[in-house]
Chain A
């Protein structure tokens, strides 16, 4: 009885094999040749050439994948609370610095609301100056603002500029007609502008 392939492979690897099989292979030329073939095949496999050089530099690709993996990786659970706390402190500090020297409005929605119908031209001018002063006290606008407040603010600012231009023209030509309405429109626009700027400032200051 000749040796089976699994027995020959075990013999080749020095694994335990039945003594009768070992004795047979020692005496049988055919089985000895088969054992030599298994050894030869193993040597041929080990002698195969390594992979050819890569066409492109793989290190750049690995770095790119590492960067992508870092970007996607969530913060470890033990770090997340500290990171959140640090973010809160940083935002609070940022807001506090932005408000330095500027008294925070106790009641933002208590910004002056006026009943325009009852005011004269002088009262409208006075009211407009008060609103200008309030606006000047507010902090600078943030570099990044919400579109919901930013767009109307910019629209109102453009409206005030246009009204100022109209008032200047009216003053230069001595026209009294319509001046009161222009001032009334200006006070109304300034009133809306101040309130929106308060809202925007509140968003910065939580």
Chain B
């Protein structure tokens, strides 16, 4: 499930941080830096861009503390800011241009997540990360937000500026593509291609 749910923040940290307490602001950063960075890295394929966005998320969080009304969970509020910022980045022409260039260049130190070997991850995880990185931006965002973060299709559709149907179709597309990438020699069930009846 979402790593945001496991974050441990002192109960009065938000009110203290809102009043300008630097230690409380740092406590917020320390409590949420891992889930924010993880989510950014899953949505944005380039690690350096994801880290940069994560910093921007905390700048916005700390600047906007006065707007948090306390009705929803604080973790959920930070997660929403993270998602919005990452999706905004993915929609930017600059990012789209870079994705096109990625296809022409050999893997480098800042290759998309999963593009490099990492001894700390087992083969299955590495394959899955590589497969995720190969998905389109929208499909990757939808599968992560829905299957891991627990967003509903209606919420994802709204975040993408569309409807729940958009989210559903992208989720199907993402699953179909992940299967292709993870099991290239697997048994192809005739009915598995999307919208094809047996």
Give A residues with C-beta under 8 Å from B: 1-6, 9, 30, 34, 37-38, 41-42, 44-52, 54, 58-59, 61-62, 65-66, 69
Chain B positions 174-196 with a Cβ under 8 Å from a chain A Cβ: 175-176, 178-179, 182, 189-192, 194-196
Cβ 8 A contact of A45, one of B56, B147, B172, B194: B147
Bound complex: CA A49 to CA B129 (Å)? 10
Contact partners of A47 in chain B: CB under 8 A? 125
Judged by a CB distance under 8 angstroms, whether B54 is at the interface is yes
Contact partners of B38 in chain A: CB under 8 A? 50-51
B179 touches A37 (CB 8 A): yes
- Shortest CB-to-CB span from A58 to chain B, Å, is 6
Q: A2-B189, A65-B59 are in contact. List 8 more A-B contacts (CB 8 A).
A: A4-B196, A4-B197, A5-B176, A6-B169, A44-B125, A45-B132, A51-B37, A66-B62
* Contacts A34-B189, A66-B59 given; does A9 touch B128 at CB 8 Å: no
- Shortest CB-to-CB span from B94 to chain A, Å, is 19
Judged by a CB distance under 8 angstroms, whether B198 is at the interface is yes
Judged by a CB distance under 8 angstroms, whether B8 is at the interface is no
Cβ 8 A contact of A46, one of B1, B176, B190: B1
- Shortest CB-to-CB span from A43 to chain B, Å, is 9
Contact partners of A46 in chain B: CB under 8 A? 1, 147-148
Residue of A nearest to B195 (CB): A4
Bound complex: CA A3 to CA B30 (Å)? 45
* Contacts A1-B197, A5-B176, A41-B175 given; does A54 touch B37 at CB 8 Å: yes
B34 touches A51 (CB 8 A): yes
* Contacts A4-B197, A45-B147, A69-B59 given; does A9 touch B125 at CB 8 Å: no
Pick the most buried of A34, A52, A69: most chain B CB atoms within 10 A of its CB.
A52
